[in-house]
Amino acid sequence: MKARIIFIVFAIIVIVLVLLAWRKKEIPPKKFAYDGGSPFSFRIPTKAKKTRASNTKEEKWRDLFETITGYAYPTTRPAWLINPETGRRLELDGYSAELGSAFEYNGRQHYEFPNSFHKTRDEFDRQVERDAIKVKVCREMGVDLVVIPYDFPIANAYDRIKKHLLDVIKRMS
């Protein structure tokens, strides 16, 4: 009888551990960020996986967005963001599908020609067109796209970006 009780308790513990492990795989961890609920409502820190060589300034902005929201903002090429001229997907520097929020860090080459990225004026003009397509399509898809110019100081941005992103989170709730 005693062995049977021990076996049942052991089986229950194993089942609970298996269910917890299975659930943990289903729910991606989030970053540490206040969600606006109770004072004890916080998320667990995570970071977006790096998918390419990083731009230091872009990474600082990504860290800011992830810290404020608690959601990862990986670089991605969403299926709905297509360049109509080429039929290829366009890239967002950071995108949180859960929040419907994205950011684009635009370096100097997005605003000034000549530059080291574009050999011809035509290449530069195509870059400007791609930037405009991103803004237009994100708006149509209901994605809140924040475009950050290279000369916008990150030191002064935290409070403005935090207020903006918390408004986005409230709209999603």
> How many Å is the Cα radius of gyration of the chain?
22
In a domain, 72, yes or no: yes
In a domain, 121, yes or no: yes
Q: Can you give the CATH number for the domain in which 87 is found?
A: 3.40.960.10
Strand duo 94-96 + 101-106: pairing: antiparallel
Number of domains in the chain: 1
Say how many C-beta atoms besides its own lie within 10 A of residue 167's C-beta.
11
Environment class of 154 (CB within 10 Å of its CB; exposed 0-12, middle 13-18, buried 19+): middle
User: What domain range includes position 122?
Assistant: 56-172
In a domain, 19, yes or no: no
Q: What pLDDT score was predicted for residue 8?
A: 79
> Is the pTM here over 0.85, yes or no?
no
In a domain, 94, yes or no: yes
Q: What pLDDT score was predicted for residue 23?
A: 56
For residue 109, give every residue at least 6 positions away whose Cβ sits within 8 Å of its Cβ, in sequence order, or none. Answer: 115, 116, 117, 118, 124, 127
Q: Which residues in the chain land under pLDDT 70?
A: 18-54, 173
